[in-house]
Amino acid sequence: MASSTSESAELTELRERLGEIADLGTADVLLGWDRETVMPPAGAQARGEVSATIEKLGHQRLSDPAIGELLASVAEQAAGDPESDAAAIARVVRRDHDRAVRVPSELVAEMARATAAALPAWQQARESSKFERFRPFLERNVELRRQVAACFPEVEHPYDALLDVYEPGATVATVRDVFDRLRAGLVPLVAQIAERPEPDPLPGPFGIASQRELALEIARSYGYEDDAWRVDDSVHPFMSNIARSDIRVTSRWSEEDLSGVFSIMHEVGHGLYEAGVDPALDRTTLGTGVSLGIHESQSRLWENQVGRSGALWSHWLPRAQQAFPQLDGIELDAFLRAVNVVRPSLIRVEADEATYALHVILRFELEVALIEGSLAVADVPAAWNEQMRELLGVEVPDDANGCLQDIHWAFGELGYFPTYALGNIVSGQLWAAARAAQPSLEQEIAAGDASRLLGWLRENVHAHGRRLDPAQLLRRATGQELDPEPQLDYLREKYSELYSL
Ligand code: ZN
User: Which residues lie below 8 Å from residue 32, measured CB to CB, with a gap of 6+?
Assistant: 51, 240
The torsion angles phi and psi of 207, rounded to 5 degrees, stand at -55, 135
Q: Please report the pLDDT score of residue 5 as a whole number.
A: 55
pTM above 0.85, yes or no: yes
Please give the average per-residue pLDDT across 303-320, as a whole number: 98
156 classed as catalytic: no
72 CA → ligand 1 middle, Å: 35
Asked if residue 82 lies in contact with residue 92, where contact means CB atoms within 8 angstroms, the answer is no
Burial tier of 65 (Cβ tally within 10 Å: 0-12, 13-18, 19+): exposed
365 CA → ligand 1 middle, Å: 21
Q: Please report the pLDDT score of residue 304 as a whole number.
A: 98
179 CA → ligand 1 middle, Å: 19
Marked catalytic residue, from 267, 296, 353, 442: 267
Per-residue pLDDT of 349-388, as tens digits, reads 999 999 999 999 999 999 999 999 999 999 999 999 999 9
343 CA → ligand 1 middle, Å: 21
> In angstroms, rounded to a whole number, what is the distance separating the alpha carbons of residues 231 and 327?
26
Please give the average per-residue pLDDT across 28-33, as a whole number: 95
Strands (E) located in 62-160: none
348 CA → ligand 1 middle, Å: 13
Confidence of residue 109 (pLDDT cuts 50, 70, 90): confident
Q: Please report the pLDDT score of residue 4 as a whole number.
A: 47
User: Which residues lie below 8 Å from residue 458, measured CB to CB, with a gap of 6+?
Assistant: 276
Q: What is the percentage of the chain residues whose pLDDT exceeds 90?
A: 93
> In angstroms, rounded to a whole number, what is the distance separating the alpha carbons of residues 337 and 274?
32
362 CA → ligand 1 middle, Å: 19
Please give the average per-residue pLDDT across 472-489, as a whole number: 98
Q: Please report the pLDDT score of residue 258 as a whole number.
A: 97
In the sheet that holds 246-251, the strands lie side by side as: 229-233, 246-251, 239-243
- The mean predicted confidence, pLDDT, of the chain is 96
Ligand 1 (single-atom ion) residues, CB below 5 Å:
299
Confidence of residue 105 (pLDDT cuts 50, 70, 90): confident
Confidence of residue 1 (pLDDT cuts 50, 70, 90): very low
Asked if residue 362 lies in contact with residue 388, where contact means CB atoms within 8 angstroms, the answer is yes
Amino acid at 275: A
Please give the average per-residue pLDDT across 11-32, as a whole number: 97
Which of 494, 368, 362, 367 lies closest to 427 in space, CA to CA?
Answer: 494
Please give the average per-residue pLDDT across 293-300, as a whole number: 98
Radius of gyration of the chain (CA): 23
Q: Please report the pLDDT score of residue 41 as a whole number.
A: 86
Q: How far lies 235's CA from each of 208, 253, 359, 464, in Å?
A: 15, 9, 21, 32
